[in-house]
Chain A
């Protein structure tokens, strides 16, 4: 996926390094190879590759990872609905987008 790059510096992705136990779950589940365990510590090696899918945060057994908690898909129609009608009331385009 290195040939597809989205905007830099926007993803909400944080690691509380002192909590990390280096289990490597994040590295396994990330579909964009954002994580790498070096020594006994997970490291973000490709921050701008993150699409905020949330796989790493969900699977971190010590809750050391934070990802944008909004689980909406990234289509414009969905976001416009969210802006117009307020958080929570939006419906994705049926099952049409994702």
Chain B
């Protein structure tokens, strides 16, 4: 009965509202591969589980109901923390997006929660009227509204699934630490591969454009010049990405300044300095150097600014404000880079 695709299904529990799928609380190899793939940003949007009711252990009508999103990574993060517990898991349809982002987009929502409670016949399965929701679901779910529409009381659980056992053991009390988001080095590190994957497609366009512009000279176009100068320019692009999408996320709290476009410029200057110390002699005229440096700065500043979308502390108002200052700087740097690069073969 257990299909191969559903390796995480351990069995079924019979209830008055039908059979409920019991899932494993230990992750298996396919979960780790899936996690790796999602963290690399590959086919992330189809990494999901069916919405509905699941359970762990042998829950009964008094067992707690934990609510989550149907992103497989989220579902796994939750169930892997539930070893030894008997609990129901109500998975909302968030189109394969995590709780916080889905709540922001109003997919992890009051309406979806109330609808899902009815669809699953939850009030026939449990005798209590209490749901435990992850705190980060709060932008999308209005607790008082859920109570009014479904009769279920929403209890805001901890932000991290790892704190759930303690929260349950303490009688649904969360400590202040459980209620505050963090952005540690490891939490920032796992975001870097996705940032790079997102840049993969645009990078091909950059490469094509860079080769085209690098070949132009007094003799109209030269393939050898396109290769030679093109690889230098594409190398500069790579350094910019390294600085903006790599160093900025990793070194974030230690880079002076609050605005991300400035942090990007700082890291751009850092890698340019490093590159000059390593390969300084390889770069040609002053104009060419100026163009390459400007290119690195433009790319590092922009990619750093784009990282604001992945942090848990930047406000949209703030990002819009810094973009009004950052974009003109980045465009100016890009113009200097292109003009300098095009002009240098003529001198």
Contact = CB atoms under 8 A, between A and B. Distances in A.
Contacts of B141: 58-59
Contacts of B320: 79
A70 B179 contact: no
B34 to A, nearest CB: 15
Nearest to A98: B101
Contacts, number: 154
A11 B317 contact: yes
Given A32-B181, A54-B139, A76-B323, A68 B306 contact: no
Interface stretch (B7-15, B85-93, B223-231, B251-259): B251-259
A97 B164 CA distance: 26
B19 interface: no
A55 B144 CA distance: 13
B313 interface: yes
B143 interface: yes
Nearest to A8: B258
A98 B135 contact: no
B317 A53 contact: no
B138 A98 contact: no
B159 interface: yes
Contacts of B215: none
Interface in B160-212: 176, 179-183, 194, 198
B142 A58 contact: yes
A64 to B, nearest CB: 13
A11 B321 CA distance: 10
Interface in B302-336: 302, 305-323, 327
Nearest to B47: A95
B181 A78 contact: no
B105 interface: yes
A32 B176 CA distance: 10
A4 B45 CA distance: 29
B111 interface: no
Contact of B317 (A58, A61, A68, A94): A68
Contact of B253 (A3, A8, A31, A61): A3
Nearest to A12: B317
Interface residues of A, number: 47
Contact of A6 (B138, B176, B318): B318
Nearest to A2: B180
| Interface of A: prevailing SS | loop
B106 interface: yes
A79 B258 CA distance: 19
Nearest to B322: A7
Nearest to B320: A79
Interface in B138-152: 138-144
A89 B45 CA distance: 20
A68 B104 CA distance: 12
A77 B194 CA distance: 15
Nearest to A93: B198
Given A25-B143, A71-B105, A77-B306, A31 B135 contact: yes
Given A31-B159, A54-B104, A74 B316 contact: yes
Nearest to B305: A76
A77 B202 CA distance: 12
A29 B156 contact: yes
Given A10-B317, A31-B180, A53-B139, A76 B104 contact: no
A10 B110 CA distance: 29
A30 B306 CA distance: 24
Given A71-B104, A71-B106, A95 B97 contact: yes
Contacts of B159: 31
Interface of A: 1, 3-8, 10-12, 25, 28-33, 49-56, 58-59, 61, 68, 70-80, 92-98
Ranked 3 nearest A-B pairs via Cβ: A75-B309, A55-B138, A98-B101
20 contacts: A1-B180, A4-B253, A25-B144, A29-B138, A31-B179, A32-B180, A56-B138, A58-B138, A59-B143, A68-B317, A70-B316, A73-B104, A74-B315, A75-B309, A76-B306, A76-B309, A79-B319, A92-B105, A95-B96, A96-B198
